[in-house]
Structure 1
Amino acid sequence: MKILVTGGLGFIGSHTVVALQNKGYEVVIVDDLSNSSLSVLEGIVKITGKTPIFTKLDLKNKNHTSEFFRLHNDIHGVIHFAASKAVGESVENPLHYYENNINTLVYLLQNLSKLPYQNLIFSSSCTVYGQADELPITESAPVKKALSPYGNTKQIGEEIILDTCQSVPKFKSISLRYFNPVGAHPSAEIGELPIGTPQNLIPFITQTAAGKREQLSVFGDDYPTKDGTCIRDYIHVMDLAEAHIVALERLLSKNMNKNFEVFNVGTGKGNSVLEVIKTFEKVSGQKLNYKITGRRPGDVTEAFADTTKVNKELGWEAKFSLEDALESAWKWEQKQD
């Protein structure tokens, strides 16, 4: 079966491509290389021994996107990662986020809804919940007004997909609302490779430890948490990749309760920023130079998943610990120039 992975050379996308190829799927990748590198393709080939089909494509270009689907009309399913993904950056540049995350999704759906197989997995986010009233967060928690344009694009994206599922009889989709993906493939052939200044905590930690960054900023220590820093649910990217496989198999087997389903994907455990820093220092043996700075716009105080639904209905659960994830991220960082 041929599976299209948009943003397939990105962090989560590349690890999911590896998992797909190891399961025997034929993978087609599209990526505009705006936040990734062709070197990732080499890493995928080294790990799997297989070369996926790759097309450099900007999905914001409607005509080029339509032409791509004319050439690849035998796709059985799409896993859609291609999107801009930084909370802080989205606050500074909202129009870029709306154009990149919404327009590309619309063009993708327009083309996918004409194909014989209309199966989509959407890369969503726990940001759709905003600051949840109750923890851990279940799928029935209200989707609140987003705290950032990035979070809003994920909310709007899910609404667009739901409307498509209701209006196109054959269209089926699973939205995976994941928490904070971290870590790298154990081979250290692929990992998180931010272009420019990292927007996520873990690559900033590893780059600081490696001497590429002078200092790590901790955004706020006055939150109502045990140590004053934000709490997140950090999930190993290899666990997350596996969740995409089981979701895809549910779609392809038509074993769904309804045409549009939503699952939280996390570990079910929250760790504070300071806990992550201390854990990294422990597994790496490196002392981190960090300072407390002001809060960052768009950040919620605390978010971690209730994983009951994904555990029961998909038979999936996280296997790797925070220590595993940080160790693999550090191993990956040490391989970089």
Structure 2
Amino acid sequence: MGKILVTGGCGYIGSHTIVDLLENRYDVISIDDNSRSTSYLLDGIEKITGKKVKNYKVDLKDYNDTRAVFQENEDINGIIHFAAYKAVGESVEQPLMYYENNMFSLINLLKCVQEFEIPHFVFSSSCTVYGNPDSIPVTEESPIKKAESPYGATKQMGEEVVQNTVKVSSAKAILLRYFNPVGAHPSGHIGELPLGRPANLVPAITQTAIGKLPQMQVFGSDYDTRDGSNIRDYIHVSDIAHAHTLAIRYLEEGRNKTNCDIFNLGTGNGVTVLEAIKAFEEVSGQKLNYQVGPRRPGDVVAIYANNNLACTALGWEIKYDLKEMMRTAWAWELKVKEDEKIIKSQQFQLN
């Protein structure tokens, strides 16, 4: 199998995707500057697969350092690009940091795609490109609306940059629009390690339950939903990861319909924040300390996916339900507590 470069390979979805690629006999290398990640997850990858993955500690905003990785690895057959800042709230507070990091890193990577004639490129996009949709579930044909946050805007612009680039190169691309990845690998060796206070729901839940956070806040109680809280499409990270392996295979087999195909990655089920909390309480036996507060800037009201295209074209299947998402997330949180000293020794700030 060809060599696949995973950017952000020490991160949450990147590490799970590396595991899936290795289990499907791909050779994998990683680029991750560890500014928002830790090599701890590389150790977890090795425990799961028995294989050590080389990570280049490179800032993708540095073109020369990025190019050097391609010079050293002339047999790269595909790229899966995860490396980006991803916190909606932080992007609202620091928009220029998000535009600089997320766009410059993508542009430098695509320069290398052109120069080194990399044939296959998979871009980590997001359902945020749909903004506040007119109707749900959203399909790949749903209108792209004004982004609710700078983070969402970088994903919209990133998609355009990829689409424009492959028009004038020999590369073929896939844009994967994730909904809300949650959970952890069933082995308990890898999972989500947010920097500082978590911006995403499930790590906020698990960190509150284990006592790292004194209380969790639900952002908004007056949305036009069945219980007043936001509706999201939560999907297990291992299901998301496998879709990337299928996407690379799809490109390798020449099954793409255009030079840049698009797929939604979600379960197709909308779950409210309060329903997600209830599911966690049921599987963990923990009563969560939370309060309901005001809305958070940048959040859309409700969104979930129509995933028919990914299921039919990629042969993708959803294997994990909401309770399994919460069960694996909680098992991971317990593992992090057990290994806290090891993680901190790698200079990663947990709190």
Q: TM-score range by the shorter chain?
A: over 0.9
In the alignment, what sits opposite 1:312? 312
Q: Is the 8 A contact 1:3 1:79 kept in 2?
A: yes
Q: Is the 8 A contact 1:220 1:296 kept in 2?
A: yes
In the alignment, what sits opposite 1:287? 287
Query: Once the 2 structures are TM-superposed, how far is the Cα of residue 336 of structure 1 from its aligned partner?
Result: 1.3
1:29 aligns with 2:36: no
In the alignment, what sits opposite 1:131? 132
Matches within 5 A, 1:50-199: 50-168=51-169, 170-199=170-199
Q: Is the 8 A contact 1:4 1:27 kept in 2?
A: yes
1:242, 1:68 → 2: CA distance? Answer: 25
In the alignment, what sits opposite 1:13? 14
In the alignment, what sits opposite 1:240? 240
1:253, 1:114 → 2: CA distance? Answer: 23
1:77, 1:239 → 2: CA distance? Answer: 20
1:48, 1:196 → 2: CA distance? Answer: 29
Q: Percent same amino acid at aligned positions?
A: 54
2:229, 2:201 → 1: CA distance? Answer: 12
1:149, 1:105 → 2: CA distance? Answer: 16
1:294, 1:36 → 2: CA distance? Answer: 30
Question: 1:85-128, CA deviations, whole angstroms, 9 ceiling, x for partnerless residues?
Answer: 01100000000100110000000000111224321000000000
In the alignment, what sits opposite 1:276? 276
3-state DSSP of counterpart to 2:115: coil
Runs of 4+ in 1 over 3 A off after TM superposition: none
3-state DSSP of counterpart to 1:113: helix
Q: Which amino acid aligns with 2:110?
A: L
1:63, 1:116 → 2: CA distance? Answer: 17
Query: Once the 2 structures are TM-superposed, how far is the Cα of residue 73 of structure 1 from its aligned partner?
Result: 2.3
1:278, 1:86 → 2: CA distance? Answer: 24
Moved more, 110-119 or 224-233: 110-119
Q: Which amino acid aligns with 1:152?
A: A
Moved more, 2-11 or 53-62: 53-62
3-state DSSP of counterpart to 1:134: coil
Question: 1:177-221, CA deviations, whole angstroms, 9 ceiling, x for partnerless residues?
Answer: 010000000111000011111110000000000011000000000
1:229, 1:203 → 2: CA distance? Answer: 18
Query: Once the 2 structures are TM-superposed, how far is the Cα of residue 146 of structure 1 from its aligned partner?
Result: 0.6
3-state DSSP of counterpart to 1:141: coil
Query: Once the 2 structures are TM-superposed, how far is the Cα of residue 154 of structure 1 from its aligned partner?
Result: 0.3
Gaps of 5+ in 1: none
Q: Which amino acid aligns with 2:183?
A: G
Moved more, 62-71 or 316-325: 62-71
Query: Once the 2 structures are TM-superposed, how far is the Cα of residue 133 of structure 1 from its aligned partner?
Result: 0.6
Matches within 5 A, 1:211-222: 211-222=211-222
Q: Is the 8 A contact 1:223 1:229 kept in 2?
A: yes
In the alignment, what sits opposite 2:341? none
Q: Which amino acid aligns with 2:209?
A: A
Question: 1:40-96, CA deviations, whole angstroms, 9 ceiling, x for partnerless residues?
Answer: 111000000001121111101111112222112210000000000011000000001
RMSD in angstroms over aligned alpha carbons? 0.7
Q: Which amino acid aligns with 2:335?
A: K
1:73, 1:173 → 2: CA distance? Answer: 19
In the alignment, what sits opposite 1:335? 335
Question: 1:242-268, CA deviations, whole angstroms, 9 ceiling, x for partnerless residues?
Answer: 111111101111111110010000000
2:53, 2:11 → 1: CA distance? Answer: 14
2:306, 2:80 → 1: CA distance? Answer: 23
- TM-score, normalised by the number of residues in structure 2: 0.95
In the alignment, what sits opposite 2:263? 263
Q: Which amino acid aligns with 2:82?
A: F
Q: Which amino acid aligns with 2:241?
A: A
2:63, 2:153 → 1: CA distance? Answer: 22
Q: What number of residue pairs does the alignment pair up?
A: 336
3-state DSSP of counterpart to 2:48: helix
2:117, 2:95 → 1: CA distance? Answer: 35
Question: 1:278-304, CA deviations, whole angstroms, 9 ceiling, x for partnerless residues?
Answer: 110000000000001110000000000
Gaps of 5+ in 2: 338-351
Q: Is the 8 A contact 1:74 1:116 kept in 2?
A: no
Q: Is the 8 A contact 2:117 2:171 kept in 1?
A: no
1:158, 1:86 → 2: CA distance? Answer: 18
2:64, 2:55 → 1: CA distance? Answer: 18
Query: Once the 2 structures are TM-superposed, how far is the Cα of residue 322 of structure 1 from its aligned partner?
Result: 0.6
Query: Once the 2 structures are TM-superposed, how far is the Cα of residue 139 of structure 1 from its aligned partner?
Result: 0.4
1:232, 1:221 → 2: CA distance? Answer: 15
